[in-house]
Structures are given as structure tokens and as C-alpha cells.
Chain A
């Protein structure tokens, strides 16, 4: 298969900042891009701003959060669109899969009607056509016995099945960007693998840009092409998945990797490594490097000025003065 030229990114987040009220920054100067057909894994601990970033891209941030910077999707800046144009883009050009399949579906509507609804919102088709398309979508996301399931209410379905319905809703109108916020966290391991395979297949078939938000580095390695590591609202390291995970340069990335349990059963006595300290709260972030208080490599210059995100190579960037493996 020939790949189309991928110079133009599908989604470009430029210097995005999200702040609460007068000025507590939750996300700062965030930059990353997602191209068509590319999967970008956005990783970081809970509370680092991953989900906020996703909601900002969907234009669904609560009104008490203010954004600065730009989010460019297919040529229009989401932060500057009026509510109506934004609503038209949601569901049709960008779509989102949420973390909790158990609560993401309306309990008093049948799963079929919840898919039909999004189809009717963005296409000029009849109800019958929408119902037909819904059944096709159910087949596509591998919901067994789709026709019989059409009129089921969500509480009759397992978590994995519900997540398939959520995915069907998300891909119903052929969006170009799909955001998956921890899509498998609430599911058990075997179902997790099925859902990831499904997402990957759908992405390949439709040449989707997929922004996968997760804290699971295993999932990222399995699915993503590029990885963006966030810490306390900032990108600290980004690059191709294999390069970053095999050769992490930021002490935080290295710490995350070290903190993962390894498969070997003989190492039962071994204690899991951790990163000492905790993520600073948004209002108590240090003025210098955000990771400095927890960093094994920290030195005086880290405290003084926050390091910039500087390119390491053509497709890798790092925000650190004293990276793992020595300076360049």
C-alpha cells in the first residue's frame, strides 16, 4: 500500500495552554501533531493534563477553563470556532472514545438509537437508512448478532460490548481524527487486547489519525507510532515509540519505564521501582524544570530556568538539561 504524503499534519496543537480561572495553569505550552494514519500515544500520570488536552481538542472543556494557543484540525482552529461550527465538526471530523464504557452510554436509550442519533445529526439520511448503517457499524466493530442487539439497553451488555458500541458511535460518521481516552483501562486484559486490535484495524482501514491517551506504556508500544510523554501539564519528551521506549532520554520517561512490572515470575522478591515524590499540584509547580524536585539528575541550572523542548533529531524532542545517557 502506498502511503500518501504526510507532510501536512491532520491535528496540530500549537502552544496550547489550559488554565483554571484567573491563572492556575493545568496544561502549558503543549505542542504535538497527529498525521493521517498515524497513532500518537499521549502518556503520563493521572492529573498531568492528558484528558484535558483531549477535551480541548474536542472543544468540550468546561467553561471555567480558559485556553490559549491553537488547535488546528484539518485547517480550522478549534479554539476560535463558534459553538455551531464546532458542533458540526464533533462526531463528523473528530470523535472521541471515553474511558468508562459502563457510563458512557445513555442508560435509557437503546444502543441502536444512540448510533442512529449521531448518523442523523451529520448526514441527510432517513431513519431506516441510519438503522441499516448502524447494523453495518455493529458488524464492523464485531458486535455478535447485531440485529438482535439493536434494541438492547446498555445495561444488558458487557463492558467490552459497550466499548464496541462507543467505538461504533465514534466512527459512525467517518471522522478523520479519533481520540481514545484510556479506552481499555476499565476492561479486563483479554477484552483490552481485542479492543486495541479493533481500534488498530479501524484506523488502518480508514486511514484515521488516532490520538491514544493512556498511562499504559505496554499499550503504547503495542499500538502507537509516536509517543508524547507529558509531565505536570508539559511535554517532556516525544519521538518514535521504539526509540523513546528503548532509549529514553528524559529522566521521567526512564523512571516510568523502570516503574513497570516486568513479566518474569522469578523476580517475585524484587520490589517495583518507583519515582520518588509526587506530581506537584497545578498551583504548586516549581519555577524551573517541573520534574526537578523528583529528578535523580537534577542540578542547579534545572532549578533556575525551565528547560525548553528542544529537538534531539528530526523526529525527537526533549525538555531536559541533563538527560539520561549524558548531554548531546
Chain B
């Protein structure tokens, strides 16, 4: 085949971006990132263990407080759970079990911690993925519109809107949503992940879940829409001044193409960084929203674990949350590489 085959050239171009991940120094890079991740997780485990154990009170105190228990029975219970041993021994045992992915037993739920978390992770995952997608898309579009109309009434109006989104706490928005959409207008279910006792399957079940998620997702999004909007506006203003945008205009291509193909792709990096931060903070941090809307997610689980002194469950939530943050960060770095060919594996 001739080296000047243009069709081969174009298809190779499409492939080019993906083959960067398979060929080249990727395996070594993954290995290096993996060893870093293990170190990070080790520090997280030790750190959270020390924190949790240094708080006064334990599970037995909670159980004992709820029933008439003698000091001897409580001591017996402590021995049973291994809570009578020195902290470093407990940590050692915990880490040994962790190595086999055994996160221990949650007395609160009367089930293994891993099972409890695996049951709740999907709720949080759906919540996080949907909120990140929605807030990022809306925020980015609003940012682009602001930047293109900088200084004009549209920009001013959007700035005010974003300021309001930014300044209103999400629980206030959540309560307002409930008041209007559930109480006054009766449009959406007030709480829960799905209708209690529902027998719906497939699409009907998805529709049921979707209706339940509209308000929590909306409440989680407003703040981040403002953040993405401001970052997107600033990044676009920066990029629109650059020479290659002028080159693109000089080509006589449509303004839409100039904005969305040439400028926006270059302005995406700070937005992607923000998405990483958003995922990290929502994975374990949507406590308020999960509580208000009665969603059995990770934040809610952590909250319950703290109030009931269920150390194993709390440690498990912290462990899984940190693990997802590490994984998300890795994915974000990969996205950087797709977006900007100048970012090389290092």
C-alpha cells in the first residue's frame, strides 16, 4: 500500500488517540500508579483507624446504654469483639483481614461490612455519576454562553444566577424542592430510592428510581453548576484570546465550530479537574442529601456508623470511599491524556 493513502491516514488518526493507551509506556505507568495507590490506601487505613479508635466510647457502650447490662457482661462483649486488646493489636488484626478483603462484621446491621457497603454503593454511584454528568454539562454550557457574551446582560444574568446557586446550601434547596414538588404539587416522591414494596422490573423500575432521584440530584447539582459555570467561563475567556482561535476564525469555519471544537476542548482541562474533585467529595460526602431524601447511600451509612459507634462499618466506608477516589483520580488522568496530546505519561 502506498504511504500516501489518505483514507488510511484518516482512520489511523481516529485510532491514534486510543492506541496511545495500549502501546507505549502504559503498563509501566499503571504499575507505578498502582504502587502509589497501595501506599495511599495503607496510610488511609492506618490514619482512619487511629482517628476512629481515639474517639471515646465504643460499640459496647452503645449497646449497653440501650439495655440493662452489667459491667461484667459488657466486659465479656468487649472480649468477644476483641475491643479489650491494645489498639495496635486491633489495627494489626484489622489489616490482616483487610488483605483478604474482609472488612469485618457490622454489629449494627448484623451483617459483614462488605455486604452492607456493596448494597449501598450502587445508590451512591448512581447519585454521583448522574449529578456529575448533569452539573458538568449544564455548568459548561452556561460558562460558554457567559464567556461568549462577556459583559453583556446575558453574562450578568448568568453570573447572578450562579452566585445564587453557589450561595444557597444544598439542604435548603432540597427542602424547597420537597415543599414544592412533593408537598404542594405532588409531582415527585418525597423520599427513598424506589417505591417501597415495588414489584416493577426493567424499565418501569428504572423510571421509578429516576423519579426518586430527580430532587436529590437537583439539590446536589446546583452548587456544582455554579462552580463549573465560573470555571468554564474563565477558561473559555482565556482560550478565546489565544492565537489558534484567531487562526480558526481566519479559516472561515462556523463560529459554533470555533467555540465548541477549537476553544472548548482546550478549556476542558480545569473542568475535568473539578469533576474529579466533585466525585471525591460526593462519594462519602452527600450525607445531608442522603439523609433528607432517605437514600441508603455511603454518606448516610457513614453517618449511622458514627452515631452507633460501629467502628468496623465506619472504617469500611472510609476505605471504600478512598479507594473510589484513587480510582477516579486515575481515570481523570487518563481523560487528561485523551483531551490534551501534550500530556504524556510521567
Contacts and interface: CB of A to CB of B under 8 A. Distances in A.
B145 to A, nearest CB: 17
A92 B257 CA distance: 17
**Size bin of chain A's contact surface:** 35 or more
Contacts of A118: 251-253
A151 B244 contact: no
A121 to B, nearest CB: 5
Given A92-B252, A118-B252, A112 B341 contact: no
Given A147-B3, A169-B251, A153 B246 contact: no
B263 to A, nearest CB: 9
B148 to A, nearest CB: 12
B244 A107 contact: yes
By CB atoms of chain B within 10 A, which of A109, A121, A153 has the most? A109
Contacts of B9: 112, 131, 135, 147, 150-151
Contact of B250 (A95, A100, A128): A95
Nearest to B4: A147
B42 to A, nearest CB: 37
B55 interface: no
Contacts of A221: none
Contact of A88 (B3, B243, B252, B341): B252
Interface in A106-129: 106-110, 112-113, 116-118, 121-122, 127-129
A285 interface: no
A91 B12 contact: no
B10 A128 contact: yes
A129 B9 CA distance: 11
Given A60-B246, A105-B247, A108-B340, A131 B10 contact: yes
Contact of A106 (B6, B250, B262, B339): B262
Interface in B250-272: 250-255, 257, 262, 265-266
Contacts of B341: 107-108, 153, 155
B250 A110 contact: no
Interface string B271-290: 00000000000000000000
A148 interface: yes
Interface SS majority for chain A: helix
A256 interface: no
Contacts of A58: 250
B247 A169 contact: yes
A77 to B, nearest CB: 18
A64 to B, nearest CB: 10
Interface residues of B, number: 31
A98 interface: yes
Nearest to A179: B250
B250 A96 contact: yes
A110 B13 contact: yes
B128 to A, nearest CB: 27
A60 B255 CA distance: 12
A121 B10 CA distance: 17
B46 interface: no
Nearest to B265: A108
A131 B7 contact: yes
B152 to A, nearest CB: 11
B252 A121 contact: yes
Nearest to A156: B341
Interface in B330-345: 339-342
B53 interface: no
Given A128-B7, A151-B16, A155-B342, A121 B247 contact: no
A192 to B, nearest CB: 19
Given A107-B342, A150-B13, A91 B243 contact: no
Contacts of B6: 128-129, 131-132, 134-135, 150
Interface string B175-202: 0000000000000000000000000000
Contacts of B342: 107-108, 153, 155
A122 B252 contact: yes
Contacts of A109: 262
B242 interface: yes
Contacts of A103: 242-244
Interface string B5-49: 111011011001000000000000000000000000000000000
Contacts of A204: none
B78 interface: no
Contacts of A166: 247
A132 B7 CA distance: 8
A273 interface: no
B13 A113 contact: yes
Given A131-B10, A147-B5, 7 more contacts: A83-B255, A108-B265, A117-B253, A118-B252, A129-B6, A135-B6, A155-B342
CB-CB nearest 8 A-B residue pairs: A91-B252, A90-B252, A131-B6, A132-B6, A103-B243, A118-B251, A153-B341, A106-B244
Interface of A: 58, 60, 83, 87-92, 95-96, 98, 100, 103-110, 112-113, 116-118, 121-122, 127-129, 131-132, 134-135, 146-148, 150-151, 153, 155, 166, 169
27 contacts: A58-B250, A60-B249, A60-B250, A90-B249, A91-B252, A98-B247, A98-B250, A100-B243, A103-B242, A103-B243, A104-B247, A106-B262, A107-B266, A107-B342, A108-B340, A112-B10, A121-B254, A131-B6, A135-B9, A146-B4, A147-B5, A148-B3, A151-B13, A151-B16, A155-B341, A169-B247, A169-B251
